[in-house]
Every structure is written in structure tokens, then in C-alpha cells.
């Protein structure tokens, strides 16, 4: 029988740790937000205090004197499109690996998982040559195959383990009723996979949205730049208006936070259902 005092002490300790961790996470966001409403010199005087005079001009400048909306549209299109590709092909591959039998299955599975061990940036020069040969240089289309390759390993890891937890009797009953494997996947399995799909989407959302490396290498045209790449234009050679940069970064963080809140329920379900088991 569990000791009530020990259980209560453990609960208090866990809440203290989680509260401290929440402060560590929220403090940079708070600092970014309040400094985006300060004048440039006020940031240096008191970077952590509230603004003495609230300045909304930085946000107005970001919208009026830059291509912020265009950059935002490009990032949103590339990120959401890449995540949909990852979810579609990742779920199909995971379904095949979870149901296949044979010695080759574990090697194919390991081949995909190996993509998590090797950083894709080490192949940037070769990838640049491939993108150029495909005629995708300076276009948003150059980012889709790269981002899909970045997200597929973690997607296959999570989704394969999740599908293996689904009772085999469900699939067998559908087969007896005459359903094909593809129909079973789209009518039954894909619905049961929603928590795992939400987990995969959140895992890929932040790194894809905040990626600067590949847009910097592949895209030079102003109209095709992503949001994080566009923010770099606000950095000056001799001085930088940090209030404008922080305003742009605050605006860029809003959609990520909203999408996380929308998908957080599925994310929690995916964790509690064993989506990241093993």
C-alpha cells in the first residue's frame, strides 16, 4: 500500500520541477514580447523590465516596410505542405512495416531510423547540386523534398510503433468482410492513428517553421524567401533595430503557438497511447 505522505511529497516535488521548467521556457518568450514594444535604446537600458513607454511602431514598420506577409505565406505554405507529405507517406510506410513479415523488414525499418542519426545538413553541398539539376533552385519547391526527408524518420518511428499497438483482430475482421489492405488503412487505421499523427505533426512543426539553413542556401529571390530568412534582412551592418526584429519574431511565433494549442489534445493522446514507445 502506497504511503500517502510519500505520494503527496512526490506530487509536490513534481509540480515544483514542472513549474521551474515552465518558467525557463516562458522567460525567453516574455523577454522577446516585452522588448518588441520598447524603443531600441530602452532595450539596452532594461532588457527584462516592462516598457516605460509602449511602442507599437515596430509592428507597423514590420507590416508596412517589409514583405512580412509574403514571407509568412511562404513559410506557412512550405511548413504545412511538408507536414502533410510527411504524414501521408510516413503513415503508408509505417502501415507496411508494421504488417510485413520477413527478415528484410527490420533492415528497411533501420534504414529509415538511421536518418535520425545523420544530420541532413552534412549533405548540403550535394543537395544543392541535386536541387539545381532538378531546376528547383530559388523556388519554394526546393524545400519540400528536403523537409520531407527530414521528417520521415521520426514519423515512421512513431507511427510504426503505434500501429503495432492496434489489435490485430480489427484488421482480421475487416479482411473477413472483404476489405482490401488499402481500404482498411484509409477507413480504419488512419482514424485510429489521429493521436500519433498529431504527435508527428508537432514534432516536425517547430524545426521546419524555424529552419534558416536550407532557405538560405536554396533561395535568393526576394518573393520566395521564408519568414525566418526574411527576418535576417532587418539586421544592419553597423547597428540593428532589435525592437523590429523582436516584433517580427513575436509575430512568427504566433502561428506555431496556435497550431500547437489546436493539436495539443491529439499530441497528449499520442503520448499516453504509446505513440513514442520504444
In the prediction, which pLDDT does 86 show?
Answer: 95
In the prediction, which pLDDT does 277 show?
Answer: 44
CA distance 92 to 155: 10
CA distance 138 to 223: 10
In the prediction, which pLDDT does 268 show?
Answer: 64
CA distance 235 to 249: 13
In the prediction, which pLDDT does 241 show?
Answer: 72
* Domains present along the chain, CATH in parentheses: 66-272 (1.10.3720.10)
What does each C-alpha distance from 158 to 93, 130, 163, 199 come to in angstroms? Answer: 11, 29, 9, 8
In the prediction, which pLDDT does 91 show?
Answer: 93
In the prediction, which pLDDT does 193 show?
Answer: 87
In the prediction, which pLDDT does 63 show?
Answer: 81
In the prediction, which pLDDT does 275 show?
Answer: 40
Contacts of 35 (CB under 8 A, 6+ apart): 43, 47, 242, 243, 246
In the prediction, which pLDDT does 218 show?
Answer: 93
Low-confidence ranges of the chain (pLDDT < 70): 1-6, 65, 235-239, 264-278
Contacts of 155 (CB under 8 A, 6+ apart): 86, 87, 90, 91, 94, 200, 204
In the prediction, which pLDDT does 78 show?
Answer: 95
Chain segment 208-233, per-residue pLDDT in tens? 998 989 999 999 888 899 988 888 77
Q: Residue 51 is placed in which grid cell?
A: 516598457
Quote the pTM value.
Answer: 0.82
Amino acid at each position: 500500500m502506497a504511503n500517502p505522505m510519500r505520494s503527496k511529497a512526490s506530487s509536490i516535488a513534481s509540480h515544483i520541477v514542472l513549474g521551474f521548467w515552465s518558467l525557463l521556457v516562458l522567460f525567453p518568450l516574455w523577454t522577446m514580447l516585452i522588448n518588441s514594444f520598447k524603443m531600441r535604446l530602452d532595450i539596452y537600458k532594461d532588457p527584462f523590465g516592462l516598457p516605460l513607454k509602449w511602442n507599437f511602431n515596430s509592428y507597423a514598420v514590420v507590416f508596412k516596410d517589409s514583405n512580412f506577409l509574403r514571407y509568412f505565406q511562404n513559410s506557412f505554405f512550405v511548413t504545412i505542405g511538408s507536414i502533410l507529405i510527411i504524414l501521408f507517406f510516413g503513415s503508408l510506410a509505417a502501415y507496411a512495416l508494421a504488417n510485413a513479415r520477413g527478415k528484410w523488414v527490420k533492415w528497411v525499418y533501420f534504414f529509415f531510423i538511421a536518418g535520425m542519426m545523420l544530420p541532413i545538413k552534412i549533405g548540403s553541398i550535394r543537395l544543392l547540386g541535386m536541387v539545381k539539376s532538378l531546376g528547383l533552385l530559388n523556388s519554394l519547391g526546393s524545400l519540400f523534398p528536403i523537409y520531407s526527408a527530414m521528417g520521415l524518420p521520426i514519423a515512421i518511428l512513431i507511427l510504426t510503433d503505434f500501429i503495432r499497438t492496434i489489435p490485430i483482430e480489427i484488421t482480421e475482421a475487416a479482411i473477413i468482410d472483404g476489405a482490401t489492405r488499402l481500404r482498411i488503412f484509409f477507413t480504419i487505421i488512419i482514424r485510429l492513428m489521429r493521436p500519433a499523427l498529431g504527435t508527428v505533426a508537432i514534432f516536425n512543426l517547430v524545426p521546419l517553421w524555424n529552419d534558416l539553413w536550407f532557405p538560405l542556401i536554396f533561395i535568393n529571390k526576394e518573393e520566395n524567401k521564408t519568414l525566418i530568412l526574411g527576418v535576417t534582412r532587418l539586421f544592419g551592418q553597423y547597428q540593428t533595430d532589435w525592437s523590429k526584429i523582436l516584433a517580427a519574431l513575436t509575430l512568427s511565433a504566433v502561428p506555431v503557438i496556435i497550431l500547437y494549442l489546436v493539436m495539443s489534445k491529439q499530441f497528449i493522446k499520442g503520448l499516453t497511447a504509446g505513440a513514442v514507445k520504444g
